[in-house]
Amino acid sequence: MKAAVLYGDDDLRYEEVAEPEVKAGQVKVRVKACGVCGSDIPRALSGGAHYYPIILGHEFSGYVAEVGEGVTSVKEGDHVVGVPLVPCLECADCLRGNFSQCKNYTFIGSRDPGAYSDYVVMPEKNVVKIDESIPFTAAAMFEPCTVSLHGLRVSGYKGGGTVAVLGCGTIGLFALEWARIMGAKKIVAFDISDEQLATAKRVGADEVVNTLEEGFEEKALSYTDSGRGFDYVFETAGSVPTIKMTFSLAANKATVCFIGTPTKDITFSKGLWEQINRKELTVRGSWMSGGTAPFPGDDWSLVAHYTASGEMIIDDGFIYKKFKMQDASKAFEDFKQPGKVKGRVMLVND
């Protein structure tokens, strides 16, 4: 089979590799689409890979090409998405259903061979069957969609209230869609790109705020009841300015949730940090996805359900550019200019 193999920084080669064999309990997926995640950028461009050569790609969809002995939940031809996390299912965290906290995990596309390839093999448990009406490129965004849902669920969000979503990348857009689906009273989306804010509006933001504008904070607070701030603040960018914004935008007694992976060291003024005390904020972190056990958790089946029903909108507006798998190396070009890529870069197999 063919795969885009990473040999070193900015050295991606589309070449012939051995096709993985299916063992008992495993499923071989013919990859149709695979997203380039933000976490793949340091892996591909700046020494962030676990080893070389490696096949990246953990946000993927396709159809079942072959099933190993004993596999019963899917059959050849089924449309599926892959769950990249492969937890041990035996440690104390796994037994509690906290799979994303497993310490003995492996991960398709960072530790195990990923989906920048024709085929990828995984345990049966890592395959989620999807409705055939869902385009493969949309299904390849299920993974970030579960990450966003997880953030809302661990924050105890159950609808109502005013919701701020900081950052309108893929995770942010999905976070605001979940807030809409779960019944937010008002959703305000924040970003530095008017283009991303337009997408945010299209998929459910009631108001949008460009944080490069002077006085943006006042404007944002004016969208909340008597300017008291937001009941829920979801940080999805992981950037220093958005992380700092969270505490100022939060209302008294609000919940602040950090979903975005931080990109740099951060220092807080004591005044800013003190807002956690004064406002009696609930501060939550969220990591990957999960939900109610068994593995992979119902975050995945909820994404599959709401996408099939059309309530979760995952359309081409989320895609920045599409490339054929053989052009995978070109897919990383635009990432060399920070801030240029808006939305997902998608790799597709014919």
Q: Enumerate binding residues for Zn ion (CB under 5 A).
A: 37, 87-88, 91, 94, 102
Q: Which is nearer to Zn ion, 122 or 208 (CB)?
A: 122
Least distance CB 162 / Zn ion (angstroms)? 28
> CB-wise, 94 or 245, nearer to Zn ion?
94
Judged by CB, which is closer to Zn ion: 152, or 164? 152
Q: Which C-beta is closer to Zn ion: that of 230 or that of 323? A: 323
- Residue 262: CB minimum distance to Zn ion, A: 16
Question: Please, which residue, 104 or 222, has the CB nearer to Zn ion?
Answer: 104
CB of 90 to Zn ion, least distance (A): 6
Q: How far is the CB of 48 from Zn ion (least distance, A)?
A: 13
- Report, in Å, the least distance between residue 345 CB and Zn ion: 12
Q: How far is the CB of 34 from Zn ion (least distance, A)?
A: 10
Q: How far is the CB of 84 from Zn ion (least distance, A)?
A: 7
Smallest distance from the beta carbon of 222 to Zn ion, in angstroms? 35
Compute how many other C-beta atoms are within 10 angstroms of the C-beta atom of residue 324. 13
SS (H, E, C) the chain: CEEEEEEECCEEEEEECCCCCCCCCEEEEEEEEEEECCCHHHHHHCCCCCCCCECCCCEEEEEEEEECCCCCCCCCCCEEEECCEECCCCCHHHHCCCHHHCCCCEEECCCECCCCECEEEEEHHHEEECCCCCCHHHHCCHHHHHHHHHHHHHCCCCCCCEEEEECCCHHHHHHHHHHHHCCCCEEEEEECCHHHHHHHHHCCCCEEEECCCCCHHHHHHHCCHHHCCEEEEEECCCCHHHHHHHHHHEEEEEEEEECCCCCCCCCCCHHHHHHHHHCCCEEEECCCCCCCCCCCCHHHHHHHHHHHCCCCCCCHHHEEEEEEHHHHHHHCHHHHCCCCCCCEEEEECC
Q: Is the Cβ of residue 229 or residue 297 nearer to Zn ion in the bound state?
A: 297
88 vs 276, beta carbon nearer Zn ion: 88
Nearer to Zn ion, 91 or 240 (CB): 91
Amino acid (one-letter) located at 172: G
User: What type of residue sits at position 235?
Assistant: E
**C-alpha dihedral over 84, 335, 199, 258, to 10 degrees?**
60
